[in-house]
Structures are given as C-alpha cells and as structure tokens.
Amino acid sequence: MKNIAVVIPARLNSTRIKHKMLMKFDDEPLIRVVFDKVRMMGFDTFVATDSKRIAKHLPIKWCIKTGKANNGTHRLSKRVVLDLVGHYDYIINIQGDMVDINHETMKPILKALNNNDYDCLTAYTKGYKPNDVKVLHANNMAMWFTRSDIGYGDRHLGIYAYKPYVLKKYRTLQCEYDTIENLEQLRLLSWFTMNVVETKYNGYEINTEADINSWTLQSRR
C-alpha cells in the first residue's frame, strides 16, 4: 500500500462566492465539513490556507499556514507544505468545496495509485453538465481540459494525486494555456503525463449560488 496524504487547499477570497469556505453546511463551515469527511476515510489530512479565519475552524496539528497562491496546486507546492508532507508516496489534492466527497469516490483512485506508478493522476465521472470542467481523455490519459461546452468529454473532478517531486517542480513551470482556460491542471498537462481514472461522484462541487440552493434542497429530503 502506498503512503498517502491528503492536502485540501483553502483560500478565503474565493472568486465566485465570497468566503465560500466559511459558509455553513450542516451547521459547520464548508471547509470543516470536507476536512472531517476526508479524515473519516483514514487519511492523514491537512488543510493548506493563507487565512486565519479558516484556520481557526481546524485542528492546529492539521492546518498548514501558507502565503498567497495562484491556485490550489500552487498552494500545495509551497515549501512549507512539502516540508511537512513531502515524504509521502503521493499527495492527494481534494477541493475544499467537494461537500459530498465519500469513500466510494476515492476507492478507484486509491486502487489506481496502489497498482501503478503514476507521476500525476486525476479523476472523472461519466457525462457532464454545461458548466462543468470537461476532460478529454484516451487510453487512461488526459489529453485536454476545458470549461467550454464543446459537445463531448467527461466531467472532471477536482481531485489530483501527485508524487512530491511533481509539486516541487510545479512552481518553476511555465504554460500559457492555464491562463487562457483558467485551469491549473493544464500547466501540469503541458509538462507531465497525467493519467485519469473513472469514478463515481453524484454530489456537488460548490461553485455557484445555484449549487448551494440545490445542495440545501437535496439535504432536506
């Protein structure tokens, strides 16, 4: 079995929903809900954040204070993070807004990591909605990611597994595509082979007010 840590990147000043990580879900801040769900799966689970307001909702032992970052992968590539988790075989990045993350979603990812030797792995689920990030893939490898509704592809999930050396290199890599599409994974894709694995996730990634309303209605049923 591979030695794996999960690091959840969390910033206070989210772009589309103000202070999203602090919004209440089941009477707890969103970041605490996701942290607890991941911890219950048995992972060494950390939150990397630049916000004292986020940090105060988390156990001190599992909270890593970082400086500002351009995106979640950049935050995980910070030296203060890698000094703490760089000895693991893989570091998994789970988005702090995956409020419905569960063990069934993670099982195919863990199986793929334990049975293979990947530099970088990400996940998808079949089908997509127009607003989803789509992944185009072939032979278990990612070919492209896009926000555009191009008529094909699958829903990309914000779950990544990296070998530590990939994150160490990430800070120095240059790529114009990640700024064009505003997708951090395109920088990785430009320099590394990114494998993909299919999993099931019928839950929400909280990106819009509509996501919040839909999740709230569903949770009350």
Cβ distance 76 to 91 under 8 Å?
yes
Does the predicted TM-score (pTM) go above 0.85?
yes
Residue 172: its pLDDT value, please? 86
Residue ranges per structural domain of the chain: 4-219
Cβ distance 72 to 187 under 8 Å?
no
Q: Can you list the alpha helix ranges (DSSP code H) found in 136-176?
A: 164-170
> In a 3-state reduction of DSSP, which class is residue 180?
helix
Cβ distance 124 to 156 under 8 Å?
yes
pLDDT-derived band at 173 (thresholds 50, 70, 90) equals: confident
Residue 220: its pLDDT value, please? 57
Tens digit of pLDDT for each residue in 49-90? 999 999 999 999 999 999 889 889 999 999 999 999 999 999
What's the CA gap between 16 and 5, in Å, rounded? 28
Which has the higher per-residue pLDDT, 157 or 176? 157
What's the CA gap between 123 and 200, in Å, rounded? 9
Residue 125: φ, ψ to 5°: -130, 150
The CATH class that applies to domain 4-219 reads: alpha beta
pLDDT-derived band at 216 (thresholds 50, 70, 90) equals: confident
Joined tokens for residue 49: 């954040």
User: pLDDT at residue 215 above 70?
Assistant: yes
Joined tokens for residue 149: 């509704």
